[in-house]
């Protein structure tokens, strides 16, 4: 009787350890980040993350991109134009510093440009003739996990906003059930 009890304890501990390892693996690779608006004021956001304020470089980028003949032609034709990464990198070469990559450059109602730096921080600009928007997504790499977005800072023509990214543990289970 003792041997059966010991065998059952060993089997149950293997099942428990296997289940925990499986949950950890699935959560670390397939978890979802939920975004929640922050209640910070504009002054607090600028103090916490001063890069979100428009710089002279941002205004120069806005002016230079809006002056590009390719952009003017796409805006005049009122058709969506998506530049390849190579075309966009050639047009915006002076703004691509070391470690900075162009992720997207497109024109539809306005112009959308998104850069990614070596720290996986993404900076997106949206602008037209009278409007300038800057959005910076901050990512963190956790051990054994993918890059998670931990915060998004927004400057919408001078109006500041912040959104916090909160990982949802075991969210892969919900996705599995919905599929």
Tell me, what's the pLDDT at 152?
Answer: 93
Q: Where are the domains of the chain?
A: 35-167
Q: pLDDT tens, 151-165?
A: 999 999 889 999 998
pLDDT tens digits along 64-91: 999 999 989 988 888 889 999 899 888 8
* CA 55 – CA 131 distance, rounded (Å): 15
Q: Residue 7 above 50 pLDDT?
A: yes
- Mean pLDDT rounded to a whole number for the chain: 83
Q: Identify the pLDDT of residue 29.
A: 60
Average pLDDT rounded to a whole number, residues 13-25: 77
Closest CA to 112 of 69, 61, 158, 164: 61
pLDDT in tens, 113-148: 999 988 888 999 998 777 889 999 998 886 666 777
Separation of alpha carbons 130 and 92, rounded Å: 21
Q: Where are the alpha helices (DSSP H) in the chain?
A: 2-30, 42-48, 56-67, 69-77, 85-91, 171-178
Q: What percent of the chain has pLDDT over 70?
A: 86
pLDDT at 175: 47
Flag the least confident range among 28-37, 38-47, 132-141.
28-37
Above pLDDT 90, what percent of the chain?
Answer: 29
The predicted pLDDT at position 118 comes to 83
């Amino acid at each position: 009787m003792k041997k059966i009890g010991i065998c059952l304890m060993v089997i149950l501990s293997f099942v428990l350890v296997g289940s925990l390892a499986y949950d950890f693996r699935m959560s670390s690779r397939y978890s979802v980040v939920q975004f929640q608006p922050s209640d910070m004021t504009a002054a607090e956001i600028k103090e916490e993350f001063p890069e979100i304020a428009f710089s002279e470089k941002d205004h120069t980028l806005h002016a230079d991109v809006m002056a590009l003949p390719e952009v003017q032609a796409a805006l005049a034709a009122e058709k969506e134009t998506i530049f390849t990464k190579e075309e966009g990198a050639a047009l915006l070469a002076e703004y691509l510093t070391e470690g900075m990559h162009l992720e997207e450059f497109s024109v539809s109602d306005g112009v959308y440009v998104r850069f990614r730096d070596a720290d996986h921080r993404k900076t997106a600009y949206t602008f037209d003739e009278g409007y300038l928007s800057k959005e910076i997504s901050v990512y963190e790499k956790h051990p054994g996990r993918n890059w998670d977005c931990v915060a998004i800072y927004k400057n919408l023509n001078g109006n500041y906003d912040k959104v916090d990214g909160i990982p949802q543990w075991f969210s892969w289970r919900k996705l599995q059930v919905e599929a």
